[in-house]
Amino acid sequence: MRVLVLAGGSSPEREVSLDSGECVAAAIRSMSHEVDMLDPATTPILAINPGRWDIVFPVVHGTGGEDGLLQSELAAVGIPYVGSSRTASELTFDKIRTNQLAGENGFRVPDSVVVHSWPTLSEQQATVESLNAFEAGGVVTKPPRQGSSIGISIVRKLSELRFALDLAFRYENRCLVERYIAGREVTVPVIDGVAFPAIEICPSAEWYDYTAKYVDDRTRYVVSPPNMPDTLAQTAVDVCLLCGVEGIARVDFRVDTAGCCWLLEINTVPGMTSHSLVPKSAAATGLSLGELCEMAMLNQLSRTAL
């Protein structure tokens, strides 16, 4: 096949995306396919020649890559691509919308409130205090439309809230504030509706932040961890189905001490670097990254031919 790998973009996740792109391109070449790379930040998608490639493999993370914009442009050009539709990408990139839809359909999501940047600090604090979460472990503050743990903080005391909100507001004028769920951090890759082995994430620091994801070699990953809920894999598949997610995705959870699965987020363009989780999970099934990418491309081309 003639494959175009898209990587880079202009979001705060640009460097991770470039790394993912290099890994994916090398993996696809190892399967004897022809590969070109393109950075949407420098070459407009709407200007590409759709007849030059059989399929596009996007690994543009964050804003402009996972939020439906790129998917809309690829659909307009008329070239098949691996991954979710514009509608599914828009939905899952927004953690507020995803939580609302999942919660309405019976999935466990942490209790949350949305804090805006314009009220006074005392008003923001009052909104967060309505969760009654500080005596039970605190809250997690998140820009609702970012990835790679960018802008996220764990807040144990109300006095720490202002700094956490200021950090989140660097990226957006809204902040999703969730009740902190104590427990094990677990992710489940889902490739075209099939759950791959779960991975438990054991960072050396308090939580799985940007450094733990991409820099710290002390972070441990346990593939197919013991004592996971029997429903974990099916829950990941079901929430992807609910949201219309296709291609290669990753669903992140917290599993609490009672064995309950709490949905944290859905990643429709997950990382593909040497530290990334989807390649580790695929390897546990005997699939190389090249074989995984080839499978996803063939699945997409089969759907396109229908």
Q: Which residue has the tokens 């987020």?
A: 265
Task: Return the pLDDT at 149.
Answer: 72
Please state, in angstroms and rounded to a whole number, the distance separating the CA atoms of residues 90 and 150: 18
Q: What was the pLDDT predicted at 306?
A: 64
Higher pLDDT, 195 or 158: 195
Q: Judge contact between 150 and 143, C-beta under 8 A.
A: yes
pLDDT attached to residue 151: 85
pLDDT of residue 211: 54
Q: Residue ranges of the domains in the chain?
A: 2-83, 92-107+182-305, 112-179
Phi, psi angles (nearest 5°) of residue 25: -60, -45
What pLDDT is attached to residue 206?
62
The model's pLDDT over 11-38, given as tens digits with 9 standing for 90+, comes to: 888 999 999 999 999 999 999 999 999 9
- What is the CATH number assigned to the segment(s) 2-83? 3.40.50.20
The helix/strand/coil state of 275 is coil
Average per-residue pLDDT for the chain = 92
Is the pLDDT reported for residue 208 higher than 60? Answer: no
Question: For 47-61, 62-76, 198-212, 292-306, which range has the lowest pLDDT when averaged over its residues?
Answer: 198-212
Helix and strand totals (H; E) in the chain: 10, 13
**Residue 148: its pLDDT value, please?**
59
Homologous superfamily in CATH for domain 92-107+182-305: ATP-grasp fold, B domain (3.30.470.20)
Angle at 57 between CA 12 and CA 19, to 5 degrees: 40
Q: How far apart are CA 1 and CA 54, in angstroms?
A: 6
Residue 247 structure tokens: 């291609």
pLDDT for the residue 145: 86
Name the residues annotated as catalytic.
Answer: 13, 148, 214, 250, 252, 265, 267, 271
Query: Could you tell me if 179 and 111 are in contact, meaning their C-beta atoms sit under 8 angstroms apart?
Result: yes
**According to the model, what pLDDT value does residue 202 have?**
86
- pLDDT category of residue 275 using cuts at 50, 70 and 90: confident
Pick from 93, 63, 87: nearest CA to 75: 87
pLDDT of residue 302: 93
Reported as type and span, the H/E element at residue 191 is strand 184-191
Kind of pairing between the strands at 194-195 and 184-191: antiparallel
Average pLDDT over residues 294-298: 97
Residue 247 is classified by DSSP as S
Flag whether pLDDT at 245 surpasses 70.
yes
Lowest mean pLDDT among 48-62, 123-137, 221-235, 289-303: 123-137
CB of 277 closer than 8 Å to CB of 199:
yes
CATH number for the region 112-179 comes to 3.30.1490.20
- Give dist(CA 168, CA 165) in Å, integer: 5
